[in-house]
Structure 1
Amino acid sequence: MNLPACFEPAHTTDGTLPLVLVGRDGLAAWRDAQPAAVQAWLKANDFSGQPGAPLLVPGADGQPAFALAAVADAGDPLALAHLPQMLPPGGYRLSEHSPQAVDPALAVLGWGLGSYHFGRYLKPTREPARLVLPAEGDAVAEALDQVEAAGLVRDLVNTPTEHMGPAELEAIVAELARMHGGETRSVVGDALTDQNFPAIHAVGRASHRAPRLVELNWGDPSHPRLAIVGKGVCFDTGGLDIKGADGMRNMKKDMGGAAHAVGLAKLVMARKLPVRLQLLVPAVENAIGPNAFRPGEVLATRQGLSVEVDNTDAEGRLVLCDALTYAAEAKPALLMDFATLTGAARIALGPDLPALYANDDTVAAEYLAAGENARDPLWRMPLWRPYLHYLKSNVADLANSGATRMAGSITAALYLERFVPEGQAWTHVDVYSWNDSARPGKPAGGEAQGLRAAWQLLRRRFGG
C-alpha cells in the first residue's frame, strides 16, 4: 500500500525530531534527570504532563532539539491522536529514550486517525505532523490498513449525495474489487423486480438515480463464507412521510452502514483473511416523486413475506430485508449487517456507542470482547421478541414500523431478524456513523464506529 502522507518510512532520521513520551506518574523523575536548561524550559512553559499539550524543547543553539508529549493511557488507541494537529508540521520519530512506552501499532493507529481531514472541497489550514513508522512488520501494516479503512468510511459518509449516489457507491465497490482481485455485479433499476428484489426497488424507484444492489465476491470458494451487508440509503428525505429540516440536514450519512460494510470488506481483502467474502450494498435514494412508495402500500419481499408500509421513513429495513434474504441463501458461516437504522438507538446509547444485536450468544460475546480489546466498544441490545406485536399488520405479514415510539431500535432489529433463517448466525449493528463535534482522533463528521471491533472479531474467528 502507499504510505499515507502523515507517515514517513521506518528508520527515517534526516530532518525529523525525536518525540519523547512521558506518563504523568513518571514525569517528575524524568524532569529531574534533565539538564538545568531543559528543566527551566519546562517550568517556564508550565509543562505539567497534561495530555493534549505537547511542547518543543530547544537545544543549545535555540533550535528545537526534541518534542515532548504526555500520554495519559498508553493502551488507548487514540493516545497520540491529538499530536498530528498540535505539533508543528514536520517529521517526528518516537524517541528510544521515552520513559513512557507505546505499542508501535497503537501509535500508528492513533496518529493516522488523528491526521484525517476531509479535503475534497476545503483544503486543510495546515498539514498534519508526520510520524516516522516506529517499526516494521505485520502489526504496523495491519494498523495502517485499519487507518486506511477508517478513512474510507469517513470519506464515504462525508461526501454529499451529489457526489455519492447509488452509482458512485457502486463505482467505489468496483474499484475495491479491481484492487484486490474480486468480482462485482450490480442489479440496477427495473432489473431489481425482474430478479426478485422488490423491496429495494420500491424504496428507490422515485429517484432519478436508479436503485441497485451492488455485490462483490472475493476469496477462495473453499474457505468459510462471510456475508457483509450495509444499508446504502445515499440520501433519505423520509419519503412521503417527509422529515423535518433538522432531521434531513445530515441525511447524506444514511449510507453510513454501507460505508462500514465497504470499509470492513476492504480490511478483509487487504489482510487476505481466509474467507469467501460476499459484500452486498443495496444502494438507493429515498426520494419524493409521483411514483414514490406510499404509506399503506403492501410490498413484496424476496423472502415472500408481505410488508405493509406504516412509514416511508422506515426505509432502511426495507432495502436490507431483500439483501439479507439473498445473503442467507448461500448459508454463510456468519452474516453481518451495518445500518444507520434508528434514532432510537441514539436515544438509548448516545452517539458514540453502536447498538449490537445478535441471534447467537457466542458470536455476541466474541463481538463484545473484540470491542473491549480494540477499545472500540459496542453495547448488546436484546432481540426481545414479544415486541414483534408492535409490527403487527392487519393486511400483511408484518408492518415496517408501528404507531408507538417504544423500543424503536429493538423493533427495527426484530424486523430484520424475520428475514434471517433460523440457525443462521447473524449480527446487526445500528451505528450513528457521525461525530457531532471534533475530538482528538474523532473529527467532526463521518466516523467509523465499531469497525476495529468487527475486524478483530473476524480475525479471531477466521484468521486461522
Structure 2
Amino acid sequence: MTDPHRLAFAPADADALPLHVVRQEDAGDFLAGQPLAARTWLEAQGWTGAAGDPVLLAGDGGAVAGAVMGLGDATARARQRFAVARAAAKLPAGVWTLKGDLTAEERDEAALGWLLAGYRFDRYRSTKAPGARLVAPDGCDARRIEVIANAEALTRDLINTPAADMGPAELQAAVVAMAERHAARLTCILGDDLLAQNLPMIHAVGRASPRAPRLLDLRWGDSGPSVTLVGKGVCFDTGGLDLKPASGLLLMKKDMGGAATVIGLAEMIMATRLPVRLRVLIPAVENAVSGNAMRPRDILTSRKGLTVEVNNTDAEGRLVLADAMALACEDAPDLLVTMATLTGAARVALGADLPPYYTDDDTVAQALDQAARRVRDPVWRMPFWDAYEPQIEPGIADLDNAPGGGMAGSITAALFLRRFADAPRYVHFDIYCNQISDAPARPKGGVGQGARALFAALPAVLGV
C-alpha cells in the first residue's frame, strides 16, 4: 500500500524557476511590470490572466526562465478548485516556486493541489508522475500539507484497488500498517465472534461471503477530548439477494470508501499529533450472495436492542454502521462521526462533487462550513428532518432499513443512523468517493471527501 511519504515538496534550497500566478483583474498591472520582451511575448500569446495553462517565459539563449499562469476572474476561481495544480502536469521537469499575490488560503490550496497532482495509482500499470516539483511556498506549513496529501493518497489507493485485492482482510492489513506507524492499539472481532460479542448486524451482512466479516477497532491517544470515527467498510456490494444490475456493480469496489476516508482522516490526526483520544471503528464485510445470505423481510436485532426489518438487502451499509455506532457510544465519545458511501439519493440531490452531511449541532455545522470553504473540500449541510421519522418505522419492527416511496433517501438513511448515535455531538457524511472525470489534483477514480474539511474543523469543534 501507499508510502506515507511519497508526495513531497522539493528541497527549499533547490534552484527553482518562478511560476507567476496572476488573477485576471491583476493581469494589466502584472504585464506593465514585466520586461519588454516578456510583455511582448505574453501579449502575442493572447495572455490576459484568464484561467488556463501556464505560458513559458524564455531567458538568455532560449532556456526556460519561468512561467506565467492566469487564475481567471472571481467566477472562474469559484468554479474550479486546485487550478494551480494544472501547472504540475504542464510545466517541464524541474523545480518551481510560486510567485504572486496569494492569500494564505490560496497559497495552501496551490501547494496541496500541486502535491495531489503527483498522485498516480500504479499498482497494476506503471505510470509516470509529473517531473515538475514545487518548493513549499513561504509561510505554509509544509509538513502538514505533505501529511494531508499522503493521507489522501492512501484513501485513493484503498478505493482504487479492485475488490479481489481489497477484501476485509486486506482492509484490515491497511489499518494494521497504520496502527504500527503511529503506535496505535488495534483489535479485530472476526467471523462468528461477532455474534459472541453482540454485533449481529455486521455478521448478518457479511456472513454470506467466504471472506469473513470483521470489526476493526483502533485506539490512539491518552488525553484530550474523545473522537470516534466510524467508516463503512463494505469491500464489495453485490446488493445481496436484492442483486444490483450489472451497471450498478461497476463501481462497487468503492463501497468501502467511507472506511478509506476515515483511514485517511485518522492518518492526518495521528501524524500531526492532534491532542485527542481517537477511536476508529470499521465494520469490514463483503455483501455477497449464498444460501445463508440475509433475506428481504428478515428482522434483525441490533446491538442496541432495536429490531430492524430488512426491506432491501442492498441497504446494508446502515446495518453494519449501526452496530459499530452502538459499540462506539458505550464509550460516550465527545464527537461521533460516520462516513459512508450510503445512498444514491445523495448524488441525485447534490451531485458527485458535493457530499451532504447531517448534524443537529449548529456549532459543529458552522465550524465545518467555514473549514470546508477554507480548504476547498466542499460539503453541504442537510437536515435530520423529524417529520420523516415515521417512514423508517415499519410497524412490525422498530426500524425499516429501506423505506419505500423513492423520496428523501439520504435523509431517511441519516435518520436511521441517528437512532444509534447516543453521543452529545454526531455528524454523518453521505459521500460518493468517486471522481467521474479528470480534474486538477483529482484524477478519475477514487477520491476522499469531507476528511480535509473535518480535519480543519476539529480544533474549533473540540477546543484543541
Counterpart mapping for 1:44-59 below 5 A: 44-59=44-59
Kept in 1, the 8 Å contact 2:21–2:69? The answer is: yes
Pick from 109, 112, 135 the counterpart of residue 132 of structure 1.
135
**1:79 positional shift:** 3.5
**1:104 positional shift:** 4.3
Pick from 111, 114, 126 the counterpart of residue 108 of structure 1.
111
The 1:128/1:237 distance shift into structure 2, 3 A limit, reads: farther
Residue 192 (structure 1) aligns with = 194
Kept in 2, the 8 Å contact 1:80–1:111? The answer is: yes
The 1:107/1:406 distance shift into structure 2, 3 A limit, reads: closer
Query: Post-superposition, which runs of at least 4 consecutive aligned residues in structure 1 deviate over 4 A?
Result: 73-77, 99-104
- Percent of paired sites with the same residue: 47
- Matched AA of 1:94: L
Counterpart mapping for 1:244-255 below 5 A: 244-255=245-256
Residue 432 (structure 2) aligns with = 432
Q: Which SS does the other structure have where 2:61 is aligned?
A: coil
Q: Deviations over 1:149-171 (max 9, x none)?
A: 11111111111111111111111
Counterpart mapping for 1:44-193 below 5 A: 44-72=44-72, 78-95=82-99, 98=100, 104-124=107-127, 127-135=130-138, 139-193=141-195
Q: Which SS does the other structure have where 1:280 is aligned?
A: strand
The 1:275/1:458 distance shift into structure 2, 3 A limit, reads: same
**1:308 positional shift:** 1.1
**What is the TM-score of this pair, normalised by structure 1?**
0.93
The 1:348/1:5 distance shift into structure 2, 3 A limit, reads: closer
Report the Cα distance in structure 1 between the residues aligned to 2:129 and 2:175, rounded to whole angstroms: 31
Residue 458 (structure 1) aligns with = 458
Q: Which SS does the other structure have where 2:201 is aligned?
A: helix
Kept in 2, the 8 Å contact 1:10–1:136? The answer is: no
Kept in 2, the 8 Å contact 1:218–1:278? The answer is: yes
Report the Cα distance in structure 2 between the residues aligned to 1:459 and 1:122, rounded to whole angstroms: 40
Between stretches 387-396 and 65-74, larger displacement belongs to 65-74
Kept in 2, the 8 Å contact 1:10–1:135? The answer is: no
Q: Which SS does the other structure have where 1:82 is aligned?
A: helix
Q: Which SS does the other structure have where 1:61 is aligned?
A: helix
Kept in 2, the 8 Å contact 1:308–1:400? The answer is: yes
**What is the TM-score of this pair, normalised by structure 2?**
0.93
Report the Cα distance in structure 2 between the residues aligned to 1:462 and 1:392, rounded to whole angstroms: 34
Report the Cα distance in structure 1 between the residues aligned to 2:198 and 2:321, rounded to whole angstroms: 14
Kept in 1, the 8 Å contact 2:7–2:149? The answer is: no
The 1:5/1:271 distance shift into structure 2, 3 A limit, reads: closer
Residue 413 (structure 1) aligns with = 414
In structure 1, list runs of 5 or more residues that go unmatched.
none
Please say if 1:300 is aligned against 2:301: yes
Report the Cα distance in structure 2 between the residues aligned to 1:99 and 1:309, rounded to whole angstroms: 57
Counterpart mapping for 1:2-401 below 5 A: 4-5=6-7, 7-13=9-15, 16-72=16-72, 78-95=82-99, 98=100, 104-124=107-127, 127-135=130-138, 139-220=141-222, 222-401=223-402
- Matched AA of 1:167: A
Kept in 1, the 8 Å contact 2:7–2:116? The answer is: no
Report the Cα distance in structure 2 between the residues aligned to 1:451 and 1:335, rounded to whole angstroms: 14
Between stretches 296-305 and 2-11, larger displacement belongs to 2-11
- Matched AA of 1:332: P
Q: Deviations over 1:185-223 (max 9, x none)?
A: 100111111111000000001111111000110001x32
Q: Deviations over 1:210-263 (max 9, x none)?
A: 11000110001x321110000000111101000111111100111111111111
Q: Which SS does the other structure have where 2:235 is aligned?
A: strand
- Matched AA of 2:176: A
Report the Cα distance in structure 2 between the residues aligned to 1:242 and 1:2, rounded to whole angstroms: 37
Q: Deviations over 1:262-314 (max 9, x none)?
A: 11111110111111110000000101111111111111211011111100000
**1:70 positional shift:** 1.8
In structure 2, list runs of 5 or more residues that go unmatched.
none
Kept in 2, the 8 Å contact 1:328–1:424? The answer is: no
Q: Deviations over 1:354-402 (max 9, x none)?
A: 1111132322222222222322221111111221222222432222112
Kept in 1, the 8 Å contact 2:14–2:95? The answer is: no
Report the Cα distance in structure 2 between the residues aligned to 1:3 and 1:324, rounded to whole angstroms: 32
**1:32 positional shift:** 2.9
- Matched AA of 2:449: Q
Q: Deviations over 1:71-104 (max 9, x none)?
A: 2368986131211112122221224xx4666654
Report the Cα distance in structure 1 between the residues aligned to 2:460 and 2:362, rounded to whole angstroms: 16
